[in-house]
Amino acid sequence: MKVLILGSGQLARMMYLAAAPLGIHLTAVDVSNGKVVNPLTKRVLTQSLQDAMDDADAISVEFEHIPEPLLEQAQMTGKFYPSMTAILTGADRVREKRLLDKLNIANCPYAIVTDVAQLDDVMAKLGQELILKASRDGYDGYGQWRLRSADELAALKQSLAELDLQKVPLVVEKKLDFQRELSIVGMRGKNGDLAFYPLAENLHHQGQLHVSVAPAPALDDKLTAQAREVFTKLTEALDYVGVLAVEFFQMGDQLLVNEIAPRVHNSGHWTQQGADTSQFENHLRAICGLPLGSTQLLGVSAMINIIGYGSFNRDMLAVEGCHLHWYGKEVRPKRKMGHFNLRAKDYTQLAAAMTALSGYLPQSHFPMLADKAAELSTL
C-alpha cells in the first residue's frame, strides 16, 4: 500500500514513521517545488509528481496551505483525503466561519473586513478589544493583530493600509474572556466510523502552542459531548476521511470553536506515547480504508513543544516517562524544532515529571512548563 503526502515537514515525517510498521510505503511532496521526497531523509526521489499520484493508493496533506493547482491535481485522482473542500475550508477563515454558521456551530462573534474603513463599525458592534486574523496563510500567531482600545485604532489602520483586504480579507473577532483552550482530535473512516481522543487542554504563548495536557483536567461529560457533536457535524458535512482537530474556547459550560485543522495536529502529538494508537497511525488507517485503531489511554500525558531552541543534551531523558521527538531542522526563532511527550499514571506523577523536565530547560524558551506543572500538582 502506498500513500503520498502533500507537504514534507515534521508531520509528514511522523506519518512516515507510523506508516512503516503497517507496511505502508509513504512519500511526500515538497509543495514549494513539486518534487517527490523521502520525508525522513529529504532525499529527492526520481519519481515525477504525476507518477507518484498515479501510483498512490491514497493521497493526503500535512498542512492546509497547499497551492490550489496541486490540490486540484490531487482531487482529480479520486484518491485524495480528506478532500480539496476540507483543505480549502481549513486554510481560509472566511470559508471556515461560513461553514460553522451554516451548521449552527457556536463560534466567536466576528465580522469580515475587506476595507480598513469598516473597522470603526466593527468596533461599535463587537467592542474595543478585538483580534484581527488574516483569512489565509496565518499560523502560529503570524497574520494576527490585537486591538486593545479605541486609542489604538488609528495606528492599526495605518499598519494594515498596505494589505490587499479584497484579496485576503480579515476575520475580526471579539476578544473573549475564556477559561481555557481545548481541542479534540478524532478520526472518521471511509465507512463513516468515528473514533475520538479525549479533549486536551492547550497552553499558548505568543500565538504558538507550548504545552498540551491530555486528558484535560476537570472535564465533564457535557463538554466532551459538545466537542464530539461539533466534530460529527463537521465531518458529516464535509464527508470527511482522516484525522480532524477542532480547537475550542471554553466559556463556562459552553465550547466555542476557535478553528479547525483538517489534518494531524500539534495538540494530538501526545498520542504517540499516551494512547494505544497514535493520531498518525489512525490517519493512515482512515485514508487507506483500514479499521481505526483503539484510542484507549495509557495514562495521562503532556506534550511540550521545543520552539526556537536546540542547545541541550539528552540528559532529560532520565525523567521517567519522557520521550523526545526531534525533527532535525535548523534552529530558527519561533520554529518548532521538536517536542517532548511525557506519560504518567496520574496528574500528580505527571506534574512531577514536568517539574523535573523543566529543570533541564531554560524558562525563557519553555515559559508555560513549570507553572502548569505546579497547577497539576494540586489536583
Indicate if 236 and 358 belong to the same structural domain. yes
Whether 47 and 133 share a structural domain = no
Closest CA to 259 of 91, 83, 88, 10: 91
DSSP state of 44: B
pTM: 0.96
Task: Give residue-wise pLDDT tens across range 293-327.
Answer: 999 999 999 999 999 999 888 899 999 999 999 99
The residue out of 133, 158, 174 marking a domain boundary is: 174
Where in the sequence is the domain holding 147, given as residue range(s)? Answer: 109-174
Residues 305 and 338 both lie in one domain: yes
Query: 231 in a domain, yes or no?
Result: yes
Asked if the structure places residue 312 within a domain, the reply is yes
Which of residues 151, 174, 197 is at a domain's end?
A: 174
Beta bridge partners of 173: 110, 131
Can you tell me whether residue 170 is helix, strand or coil?
Answer: strand
> For residue 137, what pLDDT is reported?
80
What CATH number has the domain bearing residue 320? 3.30.470.20
Cα–Cα distance measured from residue 88 to residue 294, given in angstroms and rounded to the nearest whole number: 29
| Residue 107 to residue 117: CA distance in whole angstroms | 25
Q: What is the pLDDT of residue 168?
A: 93
φ/ψ of residue 261, rounded to 5: -130, 110
CA–CA gap between residue 261 and residue 145 (Å, rounded): 21
3 state DSSP class of 173: strand
One-letter amino acid at 44 equals V
Are residues 117 and 136 both part of a single domain? Answer: yes
Residue 294 grid cell: 483503539
pLDDT in tens, 207-220: 899 999 999 999 99
Residues 233 and 297 in one domain: yes
Grid cell for residue 378: 494540586
Is residue 365 a part of any domain in this protein?
yes
- 215 closest CA partner among 292, 303, 278: 303
Q: Are residues 169 and 188 in the same domain?
A: no
Tell me how far apart the alpha carbons of residues 73 and 49 are, in angstroms, rounded to a whole number.
10
Domain match, 27 and 135 both: no
| The three cell numbers locating residue 83 | 478532500
Same domain? For 199 and 327 the reply is yes
How many secondary structure helices (H) and strands (E) does the chain include? 12, 17
Q: Give me the number of domains the chain comprises.
A: 3
Answer yes or no: are the C-beta atoms of 243 and 283 closer than 8 Å. yes
In a domain, 47, yes or no: yes
Looking at the structure, do residues 151 and 263 belong to the same domain, yes or no? no
Unique residue bearing C-alpha cell 507550548:
210
- The pLDDT score that the predictor gives to residue 140 is 59
Other C-beta atoms within 10 Å of 376: how many?
A: 24
User: At 7, which CATH number?
Assistant: 3.40.50.20
- Looking at the fold, whether 297 and 338 belong to one and the same domain comes out as yes
In a 10 Å sphere around its CB, with 0-12 CB exposed, 13-18 middle and 19+ buried, how is residue 81 labelled?
buried
Residue where a domain terminates, one of 126, 159, 174: 174
Residue 325 covered by a domain = yes
pLDDT for the residue numbered 143: 84
**Pairwise CA distance, residues 85 & 356, whole Å:** 44
**Same domain assignment for residues 153 and 225:** no
- Check residue 161 and give its pLDDT: 86
Q: Return the pLDDT at 330.
A: 94
Cell 476595507 identifies what position?
A: 115
Domain at 114, CATH number: 3.30.1490.20
Amino acid identity at 260: I
d(CA 216, CA 202): 8
265 grid coordinates: 495536529
Q: Which bin fits 318, alpha (ψ -120 to 50), beta or left (φ > 0)?
A: alpha
- Based on the fold, state whether residues 369 and 352 are members of the same structural domain: yes
Could you list the pLDDT tens digit for every one of the 379 residues in the chain? 999 999 999 999 999 999 999 999 999 999 999 999 999 999 999 999 999 999 999 999 999 999 999 999 999 999 999 999 999 999 999 999 999 999 999 999 999 999 999 999 999 999 999 999 999 886 655 688 999 998 999 999 998 988 999 999 999 999 999 999 999 999 999 999 999 999 999 999 998 999 999 999 999 999 999 999 999 999 999 999 999 999 999 999 999 999 999 999 999 999 999 999 999 999 999 999 999 999 999 999 999 999 999 988 889 999 999 999 999 999 999 999 999 999 999 999 999 999 999 999 999 999 999 999 999 999 8
117 domain-assigned: yes
Strand segments (E) across 143-221 = 144-147, 170-174, 180-188, 194-196, 200-205, 208-214
In this structure, which amino acid lies at residue 152? E
On whether residue 103 sits in a domain, the answer given is no
Q: Give dist(CA 225, CA 214) in Å, integer.
A: 16
